[in-house]
Structure 1
Amino acid sequence: MTDHVEPAGARGTRKRVTNYGSGRGALLDAAVRVVARGGLRKLTYRAVAEEAGVTHGLVVHHFGSRDALIEEAVDHAFRSSLDVNTLDTGAQRAQDFALGLGSMVETGPDLQTFQYELLLEARRRPELMPRLRALYDAYFDTARRDLSRILDRPVERGLSRLVFAALEGLVLHQLVFGEREATEEALAELRVLLERLAEDAEGSADS
């Protein structure tokens, strides 16, 4: 059964706000945008209602408590993030590694910002750590699989974490400073390094 989102202007003279869609998913998308702009502490029923263009009571009806809203927003962001992840694309060559990273940041900055906000908030709210850990474990595993495929050998945790940290740093810098071209330049250099590692591994296998 499809959830129905009642426009904020449907009753009386309430001010109508831009409606980004209908259903529970639209409310969770709105929650992600609220957190991206103001941090997790700004995530309230009223802020989500205004962002989604619905009534305050509808948000209360869907989530029941602020803690439930936070938990579902986190889970929703995790699922969305894994769906748009630029890793695990089946790349066989270093030249194809992390293609689309700069575009992902440019087209979906709120989702990326939400995750960084969550990283900071998890230091103050340990109950968020299991969800955060699950997301990053998925990231780490994906990076390791990609690198193992490209280098044609099992990749140790240290190397996969190093490469992932480089990617995450590029995402953060592009979010803050823009400069997608700098992201692409850095990725080109990273691919060159991976090519050399692959060549070294191939040479060692032949000797």
Structure 2
Amino acid sequence: MTESAAHPEGREPRRRMNYGEGREALLNAAVRVVARGGLRKLTYRAVAQEAGTTHGLVVHHFGSRDALIEEALAHAIRTSLSTSALEPGTGEVADFSAGLSEMVVDDPDIQAFQYELLLESRRRPELLPQIRALYDDYFAATGRELSRILPQGADRALTRLVFAALDGLVLHQLVFGEPEVTDGAVAELHRLIRLLQADEDTGSASEH
């Protein structure tokens, strides 16, 4: 039997994936589909084609399009948290969000996916609870690390301000490129946090 007869149209055979591997591959494929074409392009068939697998496997893993969206968003947040250095756990200013520009360069689709979902939630309010709950992970990680850095801790307003700055830098780099601008802005953010740190240290000392 010839190769083309074994695999119609000369296509390579689809590789069978085990359960865990297949789920991860499908989530990554969903992220890429949405990042490149928006949520309207997210279908079982589009994800299957992107992942190089079957439509039935996507249905088997997720059951509904809404479940696929929710799990892909959770996957995106987990991946971003693990690579963004929002919470290195060291309490050192220099470690906070270090390598932000590299994160965007290495995986722009997972960042673009999140912005697509944020905008889509304005048109589809049913997505907002998922977006809010998952973005709370970002806010919480930012707040915990700032509280390690700053003697008096970080309140909600400061946490949101700092995260909004970082989130905006990621969005701007996605659109304009210029990772060196991101690096410079993060360095300036570090300088401002050190000023807060020094001010709080001085205030604490004067109280004793």
**Which residue of structure 2 aligns with residue 145 of structure 1?**
144
1:86 matched to 2:81? The reply is no
**Which residue of structure 1 aligns with residue 94 of structure 2?**
95
**Which residue of structure 1 aligns with residue 74 of structure 2?**
75
Q: How many residues align?
A: 198
**Judging changes above 3 Å, is the alpha-carbon distance between structure 1 residues 136 and 200 closer, same or farther for their aligned structure 2 residues?**
same
Unaligned runs of 5+ in 2: none
Deviates more, 1:32-41 or 1:76-85: 76-85
Q: Do the aligned residues in 2 keep the contact of 1:17 with 1:52 (CA within 8 Å)?
A: no
- Give the % identical residues: 62
Following superposition, the deviation at residue 16 of structure 1 comes to 4.0
Unaligned runs of 5+ in 1: 1-8
**Which residue of structure 2 aligns with residue 136 of structure 1?**
135
Within-5 A mapping of 1:181-192: 181-192=180-191
Q: In the aligned structure 2, how far is the partner of 1:203 from the partner of 1:80?
A: 38
Q: Do the aligned residues in 1 keep the contact of 2:142 with 2:163 (CA within 8 Å)?
A: yes
Following superposition, the deviation at residue 130 of structure 1 comes to 1.9
**Judging changes above 3 Å, is the alpha-carbon distance between structure 1 residues 202 and 176 closer, same or farther for their aligned structure 2 residues?**
same
Q: In the aligned structure 1, how far is the partner of 2:121 from the partner of 2:6?
A: 38
Q: In structure 2, the residue corresponding to 1:188 is in which secondary structure?
A: helix
- Cα deviation per residue 1:45-83 (whole Å; 9 max; x = unaligned)? 221122111233333343333333323322332333333
**Which residue of structure 1 aligns with residue 114 of structure 2?**
115
1:32 matched to 2:27? The reply is no
Q: Once superposed, what is the RMSD of the aligned Cα atoms? A: 2.4
Q: Which ranges of 4 or more aligned residues in structure 1 deviate by more than 3 Å?
A: 9-12, 14-19, 60-65
Amino acid paired to 1:113: A
Higher helix residue share: 2
- TM-score, L = length of structure 2: 0.85
1:13 matched to 2:13? The reply is no
